[in-house]
């Protein structure tokens, strides 16, 4: 029978393997996104769910959250937050594009 230690070791190795695969996928995705000084991040407000992840990863304080009234009056939501890019602060690093869970952020030409 498999011991507890063996199971823990297997679990640890599997976590390392998964992390490697995730990092490779991230690098691959990053490689496909054009960034740099000539580019600036853009948020599709309709796709943004206000999760607060992009301002957390942005090292340049180039993203602010704001409240936007809901389009549908049937749904009662006290705070409908959205992200907004501060164009002058954005350095085009692309980190926010990677982190956004709804693919609401893209890079556009300045």
Q: Which residues bind ligand SF4 (CB under 6 A)?
A: 41, 43, 48-54, 57-58, 60, 62-63, 83, 85, 90-96, 99-100, 102, 104-105
Closer CB to ligand SF4, 11 or 70, in the complex = 70
Shortest separation between residue 86's beta carbon and ligand SF4, angstroms: 8
Q: Where are the alpha helices (DSSP H) in the chain?
A: 4-32, 53-57, 95-99
Angle at 83 between CA 77 and CA 87, to 5 degrees: 155
Shortest separation between residue 36's beta carbon and ligand SF4, angstroms: 10
Residue 4 corresponds to which tokens in the numbers above? Answer: 């507890």
CA distance 44 to 105: 6
Shortest separation between residue 11's beta carbon and ligand SF4, angstroms: 30
Closer CB to ligand SF4, 8 or 89, in the complex = 89
Closer CB to ligand SF4, 12 or 52, in the complex = 52
Residue 86 corresponds to which tokens in the numbers above? Answer: 């501060």
Closer CB to ligand SF4, 6 or 45, in the complex = 45
Residue 92 corresponds to which tokens in the numbers above? Answer: 């085009």
């Amino acid at each position: 029978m498999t011991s507890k230690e063996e199971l823990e070791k297997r679990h640890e190795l599997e976590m390392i393997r998964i992390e490697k695969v995730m990092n490779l996928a991230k690098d691959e995705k990053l490689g496909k996104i054009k960034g740099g000084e000539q580019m600036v991040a853009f948020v599709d407000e309709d796709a943004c769910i206000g999760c607060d992840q992009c301002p957390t990863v942005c090292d340049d304080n180039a993203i602010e959250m704001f409240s936007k009234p809901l389009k549908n009056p049937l749904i009662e939501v006290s705070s409908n937050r959205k992200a907004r890019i501060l164009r002058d602060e954005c350095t085009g690093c692309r980190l926010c594009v990677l982190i956004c869970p709804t693919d609401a952020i893209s890079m556009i030409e300045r």
